[in-house]
Chain A
Amino acid sequence: MIRPAAFLCGALFGLGLVVSDMANPARVLAFLDVSDAWDPSLALVMLGALIPSGAAYLWIRARGTPLLAASLHIPTLRIIDRRLVIGAAIFGLGWGLAGVCPGPAIALLGTGQPFAIIFATAMIAGVLLHGLIHRPTTTTGQP
């Protein structure tokens, strides 16, 4: 059950990216670029997403264990360190340049267009580069 569930969750996520138009770099840039014709769509997406995501967290916290898997893997790190802030800033720089973050990058691969393939390849290279540089120093973990 775990594998089909993972696939279906991903499928719903991908549909959401297209329905919200967040896979469209121009839509994202119209939110990030505040100089003219500001488009609030991205803020509405965050709002719409936070409600079910927050509800699921409250539910799992009360339950203790996931429905299908044996144990919960929620990040417990609470320290705000330089890595977190610098990493987020580097990500923000790349995001502001192209209007693409990791979810849309994967979604756009389906178009087969050079824009999508070049970005996703470079992004994967960036992930691998981080893996090489910061090898076994424990996991940076999830958020």
Chain B
Amino acid sequence: MTLSHLAWYWPLAGGAMIGTAAGAYLLLLGRVAGISGLLARTLGMPGDGGRSSAALFLAGLALASGLAMVARPIPLPALSANGAVVLVIAGLLVGYGTRLGAGCTSGHGVCGLGRASPRSVVATCVFMLVGMATATLVQIATGGPA
């Protein structure tokens, strides 16, 4: 898939918005805005409160990004049968792994690194390196994303 060039200020500005959102959630509600954690909370899992806030955060996220993508559509890969199988496996791994590792790109990467949590530093290094190795090997093996 061809990928258009993205000027450096878009990711920096978008990142600042993500960090401000996570920071505001911490400052206002006193909770970590890690999406995998919020998702588990929405599903009723950790059971130490914050369920309705978590659900509302995710609803706001889905709604705002849904509207933004009308203005700036994101091309998603068309799915072959094999592609769908890979996608199911990837989704299961992401869901299970983020819960086992207690965080994802936002929980460990943005919030955890922001408070210099040693667990988050380790987790972020591990998922970055494994993610890079996986994506690079898939690219070399198939000549394109799955």
* A interface residues (Cβ-Cβ under 8 A, vs B): 2-3, 5-27, 29-30, 32-37, 39, 41-42, 44-57, 59-61, 65-69, 71-75, 77-80, 83-103, 105-111, 113-116, 118-131, 134, 139-143
The answer on a CB contact under 8 Å between B100 and A83 is: yes
Interface SS of chain B: helix, strand, loop or mixed?
helix
A44 to B80, CA, bound (A): 32
Collect the chain A residues with CB atoms within 8 Å of residue B135's CB.
29, 32-33, 96-97, 99
Min Cβ gap A18→B in Å is 4
List 7 extra interface pairs beyond A69-B30, A129-B95, CB under 8 A: A17-B61, A32-B131, A44-B12, A47-B12, A84-B119, A98-B87, A110-B66
Q: Nearest chain-B residue to A64 (Cβ)?
A: B30
Q: B94, A13: Cβ atoms under 8 Å?
A: no
Contacts A84-B119, A91-B97 given; indicate if A120 touches B91 (C-beta within 8 A): yes
CA distance A16 to B57 in the complex (A): 14
With A46-B110, A56-B26, A97-B89 in contact, is A17–B18 under 8 Å at CB? Answer: yes
How many chain B residues sit at the interface, stated as a range, is: 35 or more
Across chains A and B, the number of contacting residue pairs, with CB separation under 8 Å, is 518
CB–CB A20/B146 < 8 A: no
Q: How far does the Cβ of A16 sit from chain B's closest Cβ, in whole Å? A: 3
Q: Top 5 closest A-B pairs, CB basis?
A: A126-B95, A110-B66, A20-B14, A87-B101, A96-B134
CB-defined interface of B85-104 with A at 8 Å, one 1/0 digit per residue?
A: 01111111111111111111
Residues of A near B127 (CB, < 8 A) are 88-89, 91-92, 95
What residues of chain A lie closer than 8 Å to B108, measured between beta carbons? Answer: 88, 143
Known: A2-B53, A92-B131. A69 touches B28 (CB 8 A): yes
Structural contact, A16 and B3, CB atoms closer than 8 A: no
Distance between Cα atoms of A53 and B26 in the complex (Å): 9
**Contact of B91 (CB < 8 Å), options: A92, A113, A123:** A123
